[in-house]
Amino acid sequence: MGAYTGLRSLVIMALSCLALSACAPGSYSTDLRYRNPVSQQAVPNAITVRVARFDDRRMDKRVGVALNLFDGIVTDYVTTADMGLWVAEALARELRRRGYSVECVDDPYYRSQSASAFVIRGELLAFRCVQPTSLAVTSSVVLRVRLARGPEETYRRFFHGNREDVLNNWLGTPEQFSDCAEKALQDVMRRLVPALEREIFAGAGPSSAGVVSEARLPLAFQ
């Protein structure tokens, strides 16, 4: 009887520790991906575009957070991936679907000396996926995108996207946060890619267009 009671106590203690660790604040590693481009497939064209790695200027480097306001617990979702490169590769994938020949450059300050070369650069200014004590995750992203032809910049504009997804659990998994991050970036691409295409097809060079003034940064991120 004493051995049974001792074993029962150990089991209860073990279960209690598991329950506490499940509720404790922690950090989850999240793999970022961009598997589903939103642009329609187009026939190949003769235009070559270089997409530079976006300069990651976020103050908060986390992918997202889940908040338990009742218990004051914050769960972080982080990644070892370069999010600036993730954005650039996603944009490159969208442009390839539109028929462009695209090369990714691992240099956020890359400039071409060729007068005919199109180069897209930019900054990742904000990115966050937040699950605020509910089943919903709200995702937001802000980019500043620059287009140059040759060494001179011809276009510059802010783009931002929002997305809200409903989960089936109170604490999102890393896989779910990864999906939410991809959907937020997809929302940006739906406006970014057509805007860039208009500038590229118009020539977007020093002789045909001046620098487009920057759109205002969304109020939520000012």
Confidence bin at 73 (pLDDT 50/70/90): confident
Total domain count, the chain: 1
Tell me how far apart the alpha carbons of residues 188 and 204 are, in angstroms, rounded to a whole number.
Answer: 21
Q: What is the pLDDT of residue 25?
A: 57
Which amino acid is located at 147 in the chain?
Answer: L
In a domain, 109, yes or no: yes
In a domain, 35, yes or no: no
Residue 32 near residue 86, CB atoms below 8 Å:
yes
Q: What is the pLDDT of residue 44?
A: 87
Is the model's pLDDT at 113 over the cut of 60?
yes
Is the model's pLDDT at 71 over the cut of 90?
no
Q: What is the pLDDT of residue 206?
A: 39
What value does the mean pLDDT take over residues 58-85?
A: 91
Q: What is the pLDDT of residue 70?
A: 75
Is the model's pLDDT at 156 over the cut of 70?
yes
Which amino acid is located at 54 in the chain?
Answer: F
In a domain, 2, yes or no: no
CATH of the domain at 205: 3.40.50
Instruction: Using alpha carbons, select from 65, 118, 57, 127 the residue that is nearest to residue 92.
Output: 118
In a domain, 36, yes or no: no
In a domain, 31, yes or no: no
DSSP class of residue 173 equals: -
pLDDT in tens, 1-36: 444 444 444 333 333 333 333 334 589 999 999 999
Residue 129 near residue 77, CB atoms below 8 Å:
yes
Residue 136 lies in domain? 41-215
Q: What is the pLDDT of residue 72?
A: 78
In a domain, 22, yes or no: no
Q: What is the pLDDT of residue 5?
A: 44
pLDDT in tens, 175-215: 999 999 999 999 999 999 999 999 998 873 333 333 333 33
User: Pick the residue with more confidence: 110 or 17?
Assistant: 110
DSSP letters, 60-119, are ---SEEEEETTTTEEEEEE-SS-HHHHHHHHHHHHHHHTT-EEEEES-TT-----TT-EE
In a domain, 49, yes or no: yes
In a domain, 16, yes or no: no
